[in-house]
Structure 1
Amino acid sequence: RRFLFRSAASVVKALADPGPQPLDPNGLARLRRRGPNGEGLPGLVMVGSHVPLADQQLMRLLEDPRCIGLELPVRRIARVLDGGSPDLLLPDLEREWCEQLQALLQSGRTPVLFTSRGEIRLASASAGRLMCQTIARLMGRLARALAPGLGYLISKGGITTQTLLADGLDLEAVELEGQLMPGLSVVRPSAGVAQALPIVTFPGNLGTDSSLCEAWQRMQAG
């Protein structure tokens, strides 16, 4: 029989107990990809989760002047989807956001891509699901476009991370390297545009208000 689990990282230890992880948190941070001269490539933080704790963590991270936020306006995206030509308008917006992210990376700062905080009321549950899927896939495509030049990526939110890995980066499997912090797994693709890129998978409702900032500081120091 085959089983599919959707769970926290601790399920692996509970089922198989692989023993101590080969790399400690500092070692995991040193997996950060580097440029031709040995310099650490820049990182990207994505926050799709909008639970209250995620809001607090995002605000705390953006207090650091080395991190610059780029907000995906959910209401604007909803209007585009409700309009007559979403297949034409949404790609234009996506190109604009991608250019902004590229400019932030070139400036030496860490872009923090996040969705508008709070929830909006839509006409139906199916419309809500379509909106969630559209935004998650949009974030995944943006990450894919930036992936070749990234040193690391932090993805916060279960749907955001699953869509990033499966759709955005088109991955069928990743290597689990260990936990950067309790509950924060570091995985790396073995192929594709994000080959060897350390990706910190960060559940939405996990940690304290400083956990996202601490995870970023650890990876940035790698």
Structure 2
Amino acid sequence: MSRIESLNGADMHTDSTLKIVAIDDDPTGSQTVHSCLLLTRWGIDTLTAGLLDDAPLFFVLSNTRGMGAEQAANVTREICRNLHDAVDRLARQGKSIKLVVVSRSDSTLRGHYPIETDVIAEQMGPFDAHFLVPAFIDGGRITRDSTHYLIVDGEPVPVHETEFAKDSVFGFSTAYLPDYVAEKTSGRIKAADVERFVLDDIRGDISGRLRALSGNTCCVVDAETQADLNQFARQVLAVAGEGRRFLFRSAASLLTALAQLPPQPVVANEMHRYVRNAKPGVVLVGSHVETTSRQLHYLTEHTDIVPVHVDLDALQQDADALFDRLCIEVKAAIGSGRSAVLFTSRGERQFASKAERLSFGELVSGFLMRLVQALPREIGFLISKGGITSNDTLSIGLALKTARVLGQVRAGCSVVVCPEDHPRYPKLPVVIFPGNVGGESALADAFATLTRQTQTAGSKDVAYA
């Protein structure tokens, strides 16, 4: 058996530990799981710690959605090579680890597909198939008849008719997944060659079809409920246990099915227990999608939180002056016993090229991380809104190598805690809040869960309990 074959799927019935590794293009893939590690670094020692952790899965936060295609490929390749070496190290110590690899990405089809799955297949293959499973049940993303939908006001809307399909870097023209695959692979994988597992299929017995897959066949999978994904995961893991080798490109809900975790130990409405000394906190809003803008408006209108505008025009003119002013405003809010929300200018800007757009994003993110590093030491909590923003908050702003997911403060929004020995924010709870998750009041609801107090909107008191 080759080293690559020993890594994933083969001889799972032998005495070995099965570990699910999610290479996550931003940190929001943990939004349906708990008690597992997020790794913001991928050195061999850090990956070894993840492989030895008691949880059945861990996440490697690659943040590739915020990178260009070439850098994303290089980072993914480095992670895979280091995973090889970490597994080899443990094998030499008599610890056999078998991997199930998931390329976790956006539930609205944005991301570097097929670049990341191609690199994983190159480094860790050969695979018999790779499965696209974009359903995110908690977030209202379902797939039916191989078409991916976003539930809006109770009605399914094909995702190509939503704002997410117009993304300036990751835009697409169709929600019908075989055609999406053909579009993203520039015809290398033809729509007719994509294997479709529709609802009737996965609710029955698909084991025979799974065993027949070969040559890294592209498969797309329907799901309307978590039970659908649970049924699919049971069958695909069983067949993998016979020696078939599978790769997954999925949203978060598949990870719940693969890991088979029990309910989280601390329920959502008790997450306020982790707030330090019942102190006010900071909400950081970097996401620019319309969902976030509506949530931000609701938060500022229905609570007494202090709005602090990160003016992107001012950032380009005099970053240091803007930084000093914002630090003063946040410190004043916290000192008065009120939380503050730092938010960037709304709307997505247009750029002449993808490279210019990514470069501007790096400028904004770098500035936001300066702010995170300078927040008052005594804050009680931090909510980070947006996937790339949250990744940078964990890995750069807070300089965490690893963090453990406690669970969700609301559907799709994970809570992690800084370690006790953190030099600036020991035991600070941090909410990872995706940009495209939740209804209008979702951000205010999460804020209210942590503050556990009546918030004031003008002369009107709005109680959140």
The bucket for the TM-score relative to the shorter chain is: 0.7 to 0.9
The amino acid across from 1:4 in the alignment is: I
Give distance in 2, aligned partners of 1:113 and 1:56.
15
Conserved in 2, the CA contact under 8 Å of 1:28 and 1:177? no
Decide whether aligned partners of structure 1 residues 220 and 120 sit closer, same or farther in structure 2, where only a CA change above 3 A counts: same
Q: How many residues align?
A: 208
Conserved in 1, the CA contact under 8 Å of 2:271 and 2:449? no
Query: What is the root-mean-square deviation of aligned Cα atoms in Å?
Result: 1.8
Q: Pick the aligned partner of 1:134 from 345, 353, 363.
A: 363
The amino acid across from 1:131 in the alignment is: F
1:214 aligns with 2:236: no
1:153 aligns with 2:396: no
1:115 aligns with 2:347: no
Which sits farther off after the overlay, 54-63 or 187-196?
187-196
Q: Aligned-pair distance for 1:119? A: 2.4
Conserved in 1, the CA contact under 8 Å of 2:304 and 2:338? yes
Structure 1 partner of 2:314: 76
Give distance in 2, aligned partners of 1:188 and 1:59.
27
Give distance in 1, aligned partners of 2:335 and 2:391.
27
Structure 1 partner of 2:292: 54
The amino acid across from 1:117 in the alignment is: R
Q: Deviations over 1:127-152 (max 9, x none)?
A: 22122112122222212211521101
Which structure has more relative contact order (CA 8 Å, sep 6+)? It is 1
Q: Aligned-pair distance for 1:71? A: 0.8
SS in structure 1 at match of 2:270 = helix
Percent identity for Structure 1 against Structure 2: 34
**Superposition pairs for residues 1-222 of structure 1, below 5 Å?**
1=7, 4-6=23-25, 7=29, 9-10=31-32, 11=252, 12-34=255-277, 40-78=278-316, 80=317, 89-146=318-375, 148-190=377-419, 191-192=421-422, 193-221=424-452
Q: Any gaps of 5 or more consecutive residues in structure 2?
A: 1-6, 8-20, 33-251, 454-465
The amino acid across from 1:188 in the alignment is: V
SS in structure 2 at match of 1:18 = coil
Q: Aligned-pair distance for 1:123? A: 4.4
Q: Deviations over 1:173-218 (max 9, x none)?
A: 1111111111110001214222211111100010100100110011
Give distance in 1, aligned partners of 2:365 and 2:392.
6
TM-score (norm 2): 0.43
Conserved in 1, the CA contact under 8 Å of 2:331 and 2:376? no
The amino acid across from 1:16 in the alignment is: A
Give distance in 2, aligned partners of 1:47 and 1:169.
16
SS in structure 1 at match of 2:265 = coil
Give distance in 2, aligned partners of 1:160 and 1:166.
10
The amino acid across from 2:426 in the alignment is: Q
The amino acid across from 1:150 in the alignment is: I
Give distance in 2, aligned partners of 1:50 and 1:161.
13
The amino acid across from 1:49 in the alignment is: S
TM-score (norm 1): 0.86
Give distance in 2, aligned partners of 1:3 and 1:205.
20
Conserved in 2, the CA contact under 8 Å of 1:71 and 1:116? yes
Q: Which has the larger radius of gyration?
A: 2
Q: Aligned-pair distance for 1:23? A: 0.6
Q: Deviations over 1:54-80 (max 9, x none)?
A: 1110000000351111111112223x3
Give distance in 1, aligned partners of 2:370 and 2:258.
34
Conserved in 1, the CA contact under 8 Å of 2:413 and 2:431? yes
Structure with the largest fraction of strand: 2
Give distance in 1, aligned partners of 2:259 and 2:345.
39
The amino acid across from 1:214 in the alignment is: D
Give distance in 2, aligned partners of 1:149 and 1:209.
29
